[in-house]
């Protein structure tokens, strides 16, 4: 089992870091200037369902802004330096949104899944995903309002009119 997990980790992390090596040029999220991937990637530990996964995350440095950034976080549409896998994030957000408080969510995650996070981390992740969903919905509403009136009245292609 551990050998299979190690193989999956190597495959996934190799694909992710290989993507960065392919691009070699990324744009700073602040000033939008082109920046190269720095030598010596930054180690990152992700909490998975069963184990922690460690890999070296490519790092870029913007000379104009004088700051480092991690370009793959943007391409994966996740906050910079997220510390959980998508499967764990789904559990954290469900617990954070459906239980009475962040401390209750932490206790439930610890008891049911063996996931160790702080209440602040649970709250931050839940709020971030909630904000992402809100922004997505606002964009859908804006797109709908931008349509001509006749297009708004049409039923979707996969829905039959009564």
Residue range 69-118, pLDDT digits in tens = 777 666 555 555 566 777 788 889 999 999 989 999 999 999 998 888 89
Say whether both 33 and 63 belong to one domain. yes
* 3-state secondary structure at position 69: strand
Confidence of residue 142 (pLDDT cuts 50, 70, 90): very high
Return d(Cα 144, Cα 2) in angstroms, integer: 49
Q: Name the domain count of the chain.
A: 2
Say whether both 72 and 102 belong to one domain. no
Domain that holds residue 140: 84-151
19 domain-assigned: no
pLDDT at 119 over 90: yes
What is the DSSP secondary structure assignment for residue 37, as one 8-state letter? Answer: B
The residue to which tokens 């971030």 are assigned: 128
162 domain-assigned: no
> Which is it for the CA torsion 47, 49, 52, 55, positive or negative?
negative
Say whether both 29 and 57 belong to one domain. yes
Say whether both 75 and 89 belong to one domain. no
Give residue 108's pLDDT.
93
Confidence of residue 12 (pLDDT cuts 50, 70, 90): very low
CA distances from 12 to 7, 36, 41, 93, 159 (A): 9, 22, 16, 23, 39
Across 23-29, average pLDDT = 72
160 domain-assigned: no
Say whether both 42 and 91 belong to one domain. no
Say whether both 78 and 90 belong to one domain. no
Detail the DSSP E strand segments found in 3-70: 25-27, 34-36, 42-47, 52-57, 60-62, 67-69
| Max CA distance (Å), the chain | 62
Say whether both 55 and 104 belong to one domain. no
57 domain-assigned: yes
The residue to which tokens 């996964």 are assigned: 53
* 3-state secondary structure at position 42: strand
Q: What are phi and psi of 96, to 5 degrees?
A: -65, -35
pTM above 0.75, yes or no: no
Say whether both 73 and 92 belong to one domain. no
Supply 122's token pair. Answer: 């649970």
Nearest to 32 by CA among 3, 2, 64, 7: 64
């Amino acid at each position: 089992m551990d050998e299979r997990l190690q193989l999956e980790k190597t495959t996934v992390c190799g694909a992710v870091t290989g993507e960065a090596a392919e691009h070699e040029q990324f744009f700073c999220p602040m000033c939008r200037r082109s920046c190269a991937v720095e030598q010596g990637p930054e180690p990152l530990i992700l909490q998975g369902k069963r184990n922690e996964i460690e890999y070296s995350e490519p790092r870029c440095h913007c000379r104009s802004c004088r700051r480092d950034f991690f370009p793959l976080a943007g391409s994966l549409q996740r906050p910079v330096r997220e510390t959980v896998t998508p499967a764990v994030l789904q559990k954290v957000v469900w617990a954070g949104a459906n239980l009475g408080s962040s401390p209750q969510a932490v206790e439930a995650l610890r008891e049911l899944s063996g996931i160790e996070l702080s209440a602040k981390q649970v709250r931050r992740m839940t709020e971030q995903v909630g904000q992402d969903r809100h922004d997505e919905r606002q964009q859908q509403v804006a797109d709908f309002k931008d349509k001509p009136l006749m297009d708004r009245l049409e039923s979707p292609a996969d829905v039959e009119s009564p």
